[in-house]
Structure 1
């Protein structure tokens, strides 16, 4: 066997097409990930799902090409018929392992841009090994049927293309249920999907392993048939094998055992959910309205179905039903309860149309119901399920009161809407000094309800005293404010009135001392400025400039903001816990700027002009990390009484809507942090942990925008050029060895 394997490897080593195929395979994988998803152009993500998704299409020509090369080896060796294809299988499979090894340079390079999920890498590569075992066996089977190597190449590539893309068929027409089941059964790419997310699926693992054996044995039967072997023993062996494989397949398809290797156990039910489900005493019905077309467009909905079924297993009182909305003709009823279809474009050979699809969940309990209007993946699924079930069984609302103490004209209506969408019942209250002016209730009248305050422009001395007493007596407060205000609608001048100063002094009680500066950071947002004049004020044709604005900070991913968030003209602060301890308090920073941030001192006025503000500190000594958010906790208590967020503009309508193509998605994270703050104040840490459970930082935070171009060149060289160099080196070594051997 050893000498036969050497013959195969020597055949591969002396054939230049081997190196071309391996190099092309690696380039396809690398460019598919880095160029296909615009990794270096702002859309990059360290999630390696699209990296692993490139392997199945890459093998369509790669494997038939390798088998074509191996078919040149004369099979004149003496082996039992059942082992005749084993050397070819092993040699091709090991060459595939080498190609996979070279592709491993991609996740290595990605790790220099941001964090990668190690379990996703390990399980993904394990899955692709089993995938290749099945695919290699399948191609060998095709080559054993057809005598011509060229025809075998075309036929095997054609069938590989089918089994790697057949799951997309429902995009173009709505097949019957039995046909959909067949399509998913034969799709290799669909079955590989779970491995690419860090889930080890026993059913899919056994499927690939059994396929590798099945097609190998079929190739053996074909070989015996061509030899004219018509023995009774062989016929019985065929029947027994086919019956055993069919029985094994039926049993395997009913297995749904998966091992979640992700670091946060994203696909497993947590202890918090199990605790809530253990309190359910009456039946809870979960209805999942899922359109069949969506299954192929977004394979992630398969995870939703699997998780719902796993969730229901945790309680005998919980049941799950998967409903096809079009089949049941209940679109109108769904619309009445706030569930509407999501429009997607579908096309065929002659036409294109817009179809409404559904992926919504309705939870029923004792005549009451809650809904999740649209869900595509499990990123927040467990959090939403558990929170809504908890709300139903406890019959408790989640009230929060909001005070707008800012003179900011555009207000905070988007923040109100976001809070309500997150399940909070918003009550608008006022400062005690403003009671009866527009709102009848001041915040101190609702001492048991957590309080959110935006801005500090309207504080009076009395308001500050009442707010301090409110907090010290057990009230829960989230304050978003700088100790000044910015004229955002006009010239961006910074002002500080008496109210701002009163607020600043109030924070002294909690050991928080605002700096008399503005905070800048190298990590910032790029703004769009349009002008029709030059620097001297002379009119010229309108032009647009894109400017990195250091006063609009982009906080990088960190413990309390896993996806980062944005701040606008923030004012950092120092913390003195010796002062806080006077009131038996302890203040802890929650959010920080990067280590390349600095302070702009106040002269006559702060420089806020985007064209004039310094783009960096004057010296390296001025760079540092600064706290921009903190929590204050009472002695012997776990949860904070106060959260100070040193920016009121991150939650305002104008800044949330500014340049919505790029900033809206970033700044919605500040609203998400606001909701997280309410959970912290309410002591709902377990529920908050569910919300952040599947949040994994996939941003390219390790590389700055200035260095992205150089990093891109190095990355593409490492993942595309370096594998070619390695292949050429190996080929040159074998060329020299062959030359010496010939001499």
Structure 2
């Protein structure tokens, strides 16, 4: 019976223009919003993040689902059709859900096209589509109930749209108004979009699945009650009262109990919300009690659903070993704040809007791990991005008593204070940085553990004896990261470039097959610098003016395998190499190199290159000193080498070299990112440290959850434009035409069978 009713309802959908109009509205509005409104193909705006694409679909559903439900609503037909009310309602639900599924199919073209330009996690896409389908079923159920209550079609359509949009957005109320915790929790629980959040991340959470299914069932039952009541049935008379009360209690129990026992299934590519075998081994190594305490502010919990993911992840960790216990504390309590202050954990500011006023509130989200009287802290966590990485560093330190030491050396004219951001990052990653001085290097380097990496910034001020000591450390099996080049820049002056002709370590690298060319790399993909100026420094009324300059010698290196988020480089030289060297990453296809001035000009001016930012960006590419070419910017030794200063050799040296001694310099990191540090450079150094230590499991975790949303796969401008035009043609012409042709054929075929469904 239900099957026949579903066929009848599908026939009603496919023979109505409403279905085709709704299908086109859904497809065109979502694709237009993603490609055009979000400026997907515009340089600097394009992003492979599909969050905005998926989150707009439920709101479009709020507009079209009432229309689809109305299409299968025919009271006169239902009165004469010999079928129970629940079967009629169920058939409407199933048929409309099938129609919604058909509407979603063309939308799959969006992630497929986006994947041509950047990386798309299709596991996340599939789960998000499942979430959209569940949302659609729930929205249909709500509309079926409202349809039983409202007889006027215009009134039903308007009320349904308003209610669906309101339920979609009710969780936002807590962001803009001061509300009690109970109300905030209620708003979050009611909100369709709040429960869709886990699906959009690639997680199937049984709590959210049960919410959608149980709520759909609830509204189907309410629709049945309303339908039967209209027919004169009284569910609260003596015969029906027990049945009605039983149904109500079953539903209440289901809603209350489903959140107590739940499972989360992580379908993301990097398993961001799961724990790896590596983590399990660390957790199971705990033979004594481990206490994990998560201090969080209720304001943060109410406003960021991601905070729930943190607790759920910690809960999974705690379940791995019976010796691990998890506690959640309200960080807003005075006694808890005192505890955090003693651990040097301080609140962070977040922006909120209350009554149309922007305010800043201080919140906590800190994790404290205790084991055998020792403590490790994650001072502020907002999501599960790289959370497994950070936890494992602390688990290994506490449970396995594993230390990670890193030695830092400035071999140029600067001091380690100029690179202090890196030291802070290493400490935050539970590594211990030790500062070396050039003067003490020869005496201390023999005491450095061979499994502790040595990071060197610049080599121009190192003596032959110091270079020999570093080389000897490498030949013994030491791990070294070298950031250096042939040239130095007057950073605190006019940015003129001079050559380090007396560099004693460059010959070591050259002997090993790493050659720095006598050039500087320039790139169209570069950093835009903001210069502050004023026409008259004596006039207090004169407004400060800003001039923005694209500086080709500061490279914005595009994302590549070894640098998934890219990084910034300053006055880098191209590297040529032999078979003993492995290149790590390069400049873009639109880069070029500048050769040194003629010796006469160098002798007269003392300058080797044109480096003035106000002039460089205006110099024509046809300049005879310019050569269009892609350049190698970083390499790693991979073959046997023999010492330059020492009569030794090693089969597998562990050395990484990048042609930029200013890579982690505080001042340049600030200038290149508008006053805030460009932590991509520091993350690359951290990644290199893990790579030198062969910490491959931790390497996989380091950037887990941080999606590379840049359009990096097509770097050639002409190819990009061709792909863009083809994508737009397919999206806005080919697919709609195919879609209309297919549906028109179905429409015509169904029309021919019209007589079979006339009653």
Tell me the TM-score normalized by structure 2: 0.84
Whether 1:425 and 2:432 are equivalent positions in the alignment is yes
Once the two structures are superposed, what CA deviation does each residue of 1:316-346 show, in whole Å capped at 9, x if it has no partner?
A: 1111111112246532432332222222344
Once the two structures are superposed, what CA deviation does each residue of 1:671-721 show, in whole Å capped at 9, x if it has no partner?
A: 111122222333433333321333442222135596778877776675567
Whether 1:49 and 2:41 are equivalent positions in the alignment is no
> C-alpha displacement at 1:506, in angstroms?
0.9
> C-alpha displacement at 1:167, in angstroms?
2.6
In structure 2, the partner of 1:580 is none
Q: For 2:362, what is the secondary structure of its paired residue?
A: strand
In structure 1, the partner of 2:214 is 210
**Which residue, 587, 594, 598 being the options, matches 1:600?**
594
> C-alpha displacement at 1:347, in angstroms?
4.0
Whether 1:485 and 2:501 are equivalent positions in the alignment is no
Q: Which moved more, 1:589-598 or 1:131-140?
A: 589-598
Structure 2 CA distance, aligned partners of 1:456 and 1:629? 17
C-alpha distance 182-654 of structure 1, shift in aligned 2 (>3 A)? closer
> 1:25-424 alignment to 2 at 5 Å?
25-34=26-35, 39=40, 40=42, 42-71=44-73, 74-75=77-78, 76-172=80-176, 179-230=183-234, 235-327=241-333, 330-349=336-355, 353-395=359-401, 397-407=403-413, 411-424=418-431
Whether 1:630 and 2:636 are equivalent positions in the alignment is yes
C-alpha distance 299-32 of structure 1, shift in aligned 2 (>3 A)? farther
Structure 2 CA distance, aligned partners of 1:288 and 1:183? 24
Unaligned runs of 5+ in 1: 534-540, 578-585
Once the two structures are superposed, what CA deviation does each residue of 1:197-231 show, in whole Å capped at 9, x if it has no partner?
A: 11122332233233333322331222122112348
> C-alpha displacement at 1:476, in angstroms?
2.3
C-alpha distance 201-735 of structure 1, shift in aligned 2 (>3 A)? closer
> 1:404-553 alignment to 2 at 5 Å?
404-407=410-413, 411-431=418-438, 434-435=439-440, 443-446=445-448, 448=450, 449-500=452-503, 502-528=504-530, 548-553=550-555
Q: For 1:84, what is the secondary structure of its paired residue?
A: helix
Once the two structures are superposed, what CA deviation does each residue of 1:503-529 show, in whole Å capped at 9, x if it has no partner?
A: 221113433222333334444334457
Tell me the TM-score normalized by structure 1: 0.85
> C-alpha displacement at 1:28, in angstroms?
4.0
Unaligned runs of 5+ in 2: 536-542, 599-607, 642-648, 755-759
C-alpha distance 185-637 of structure 1, shift in aligned 2 (>3 A)? farther
In structure 2, the partner of 1:677 is 688
Q: In 1, are the aligned partners of 2:550 and 2:617 still within 8 Å (CA)? A: no
> C-alpha displacement at 1:653, in angstroms?
2.1
Q: In 2, are the aligned partners of 1:459 and 1:499 still within 8 Å (CA)? A: no
Aligned residue-pair number: 719
Once the two structures are superposed, what CA deviation does each residue of 1:53-97 show, in whole Å capped at 9, x if it has no partner?
A: 223333222222322344368434333322112443234223322
Please, what is the CA RMSD of the aligned residues? 3.9
Q: Which moved more, 1:134-143 or 1:320-329?
A: 320-329
C-alpha distance 328-49 of structure 1, shift in aligned 2 (>3 A)? farther
Q: Which moved more, 1:71-80 or 1:308-317?
A: 71-80
Q: In 1, are the aligned partners of 2:517 and 2:575 still within 8 Å (CA)? A: yes
Q: For 1:589, what is the secondary structure of its paired residue?
A: strand
Q: For 1:155, what is the secondary structure of its paired residue?
A: helix
Q: In 2, are the aligned partners of 1:592 and 1:629 still within 8 Å (CA)? A: no
Q: In 1, are the aligned partners of 2:527 and 2:555 still within 8 Å (CA)? A: yes
